[in-house]
A and B are shown apart, each in its own frame.
Chain A
Amino acid sequence: MSTLAESRRPWLLLSPALGTLSFLLVAPLGFIVVYSFWLRTATGADMGGFHLDNWVEFFTDAFYHDILFYTVRVALITTILCAVVGYIPAYFIANTRMKNKALLLLLLMLPFWISYIIRTLSWINILGTGGAVNYVLMQLGIVNEPLQLLYNEPSVILGLMHYLLPFMILNVYVSLSGIDGNLVAAARTLGATPFGAFLKVTLPLSMPGLAAGSLLCFVLGAGTYITPLILGGPTNAMFANLIFEAIIIQLNWPLGAALSIVLLVVLGTVVTVYGRLMGLNQISKSFG
């Protein structure tokens, strides 16, 4: 067997994957960069060439900036809440003496398998005017009229948390369970309080998982349009909703392309900065 054939083999094996990625990802992304400089004319046809109109519209219209900031805000709040709320069960599973750790973890991962759209709309059953919360409140006589709990920012954040929490828990758990228990014991022997030992030993050592979970929550949260569409009101539109609107409703594809690039650049910057600081392999770690 020649060494040339041997050295070609990995590329041969990779060619279907790289072909898929080039044709379905790289080329389309390159194309929408070019396409964002085209124009959609009143007749609905594309005008090729180099027009800055879409970009001028994005950079000068405060409407887009406001929604971009709002998107970052919602994703940030969601990420912080997921970090705080997700850390606790991850810590519990990592430290419990119960035998069925894997089962406990599996249970929390189960919603991850359940359809995102079902999980999102399930909150209508909880928070809607005919939902569980209002039903209980009215039965108890606390309120006479059902409260409007849906279609606002908290309900969007709640829906996003429900969607993203498993990502956080899994990543934090992977980090926590890799910590040598002797380190905490050592800190305690040296006089640290339990909370002190947690702050000085456990928390810093779990940072990689916390960071990876946060990255996933932020990026996935900031890129969603389904949750705001189902659980949000008219003022809760996020940036991806603008893209959906431009492409599907207004059929202004060049503008939709430009807005997509904005979202890609903003979230891509977050991922790149994170990758420089932490490396991206922590994320792959939670898969095995």
Chain B
Amino acid sequence: MTTTTQSRATPVASEAAERAAAAGGGVATRRRPGVRIPRPSGWSLIRLASILVYVFMFAPIAVVVLLSFNSSRFGTFPLEGFSFRWFEALWANDAIVSAFQTSLVLGFLTAIISTSIGIAASLAMVRYDFPGKGLINTALITPILVPEVVLGVALLLFLRWLSIPKSFLLLLMGHVLITLPFVVLVVQARLTAIKPVYEEAAKSLGANAWETFFRVTLPLLMPAVFAGMLFAFTISFDDVTATLFWKSGGTETVPTQIFAMLRNSISPEINALGTVMIVLTVSLPLIAGGLARWFARGGRG
């Protein structure tokens, strides 16, 4: 047995988690020095069970994609032939196209607003000490801890009482609320890792607070800004639980549109729509991960 000591505080865990959260991916895991721990017995059993969990997670998603290319009229097995007809049907369906537009605009605006608010809050939490900080820290993640149904009901009834009708604005405000804690968590984690010495250096060279922020802090923070925006966009784009309470009668987002279509039965069109959503939500983090790395290199490819 070697005597090499292993550093207890290896940040691999948090790095990996952040990577998963930011979905950057592809960065090689650092090899940890230390003893080679003997494999637990039953390792092959553990491996087999893990593979089964992967199958459990991916099989239903794979079947959605598979069935979306099935030419059968019912959207079910057996597979009859390869066809793009359900994707063409999607394109021709005005309700779905407009739901997509709504979701994209909503997600984009949510991401911008939520990330701006989140960056300011994170700066206060990481760079300053002030009374009541612990309480504020808890308050900032409260929207995660309150059941989403309750968020939906409370905001809806409150704004009704204020005579603010269901509208796109209500939807936007609600989505900012539910995405804010995630943005704050992601940005705070990154900001903690940026040493304040850079900002202090800028200040000592005569930069004011604004200049310091826009020319030093923000560029360093760019990966987290992207991760936060992406997080906010995805959560907004996917949300159905609270959105069903907030949307007005005529407005549908993609998830609520799917929900409405499901009321009849599962159609092959839903599978095609599912495939589009899957491709979109899976490729977005990858693109953003690439963009974040590009920015991390200083924006010069």
Residues of A within 8 A of B (CB): 7, 9-11, 13-14, 16-18, 20-21, 24-25, 27-29, 31-32, 35, 85-86, 88-89, 91-93, 95, 99-103, 105-111, 113-119, 121-126, 128-132, 134-135, 162, 165-166, 170, 173-175, 177-178, 180-182, 184-185, 188-189, 194-195, 198, 219, 222-226, 230, 240, 243-244, 247-248, 253, 256-257, 260-261, 263-264, 267-268, 271, 280, 283-288
Tell me whether A121 and B258 are in contact (CB under 8 A).
Answer: yes
Residues on A with C-beta less than 8 A from B116 are 16
B171-210 near A? 1/0 per residue, CB < 8 Å: 0011011001010111011101000000000000000010
Task: Report B136 CB to chain A, min CB distance, Å.
Answer: 7
Tell me whether B155 and A28 are in contact (CB under 8 A).
Answer: yes
Distance of A95 Cα from B39 Cα, bound (Å): 8
Tell me whether B54 and A108 are in contact (CB under 8 A).
Answer: yes
Residues on A with C-beta less than 8 A from B20 are 102, 105-106, 109, 170
B125-164 near A? 1/0 per residue, CB < 8 Å: 1011010000010111111111111110111111111000
Distance of A122 Cα from B57 Cα, bound (Å): 11
Looking at B72-80, B86-94, B292-300, the stretch in contact with chain A turns out to be B72-80
Residues on A with C-beta less than 8 A from B53 are 85-86, 88-89, 108, 165
Task: Report A158 CB to chain B, min CB distance, Å.
Answer: 9
Tell me whether B282 and A110 are in contact (CB under 8 A).
Answer: yes
B257-290 near A? 1/0 per residue, CB < 8 Å: 0110010001000110010011001101100000
Tell me whether B41 and A194 are in contact (CB under 8 A).
Answer: yes
Task: Report A167 CB to chain B, min CB distance, Å.
Answer: 11
Q: Which of A101, A108, A130, A263 has the most CB of B within 10 A?
A: A130
Known: A92-B47, A125-B60. A288 touches B18 (CB 8 A): yes
If A24-B174, A89-B50, A260-B150 are given as contacts, then 14 extra A-B residue pairs at C-beta distance below 8 Å, sorted by A number, are A13-B120, A20-B176, A85-B53, A111-B57, A115-B278, A118-B258, A118-B274, A132-B59, A170-B20, A195-B41, A223-B148, A225-B241, A247-B157, A280-B138
Tell me whether A224 and B117 are in contact (CB under 8 A).
Answer: no
Q: Which of A11, A99, A117, A283 has a CB less than 8 Å from the CB of B29?
A: A99
Tell me whether A226 and B241 are in contact (CB under 8 A).
Answer: yes
Query: Which B1-19 residues have a C-beta within 8 angstroms of A?
Result: 1, 5-6, 8, 10, 12-14, 16-19
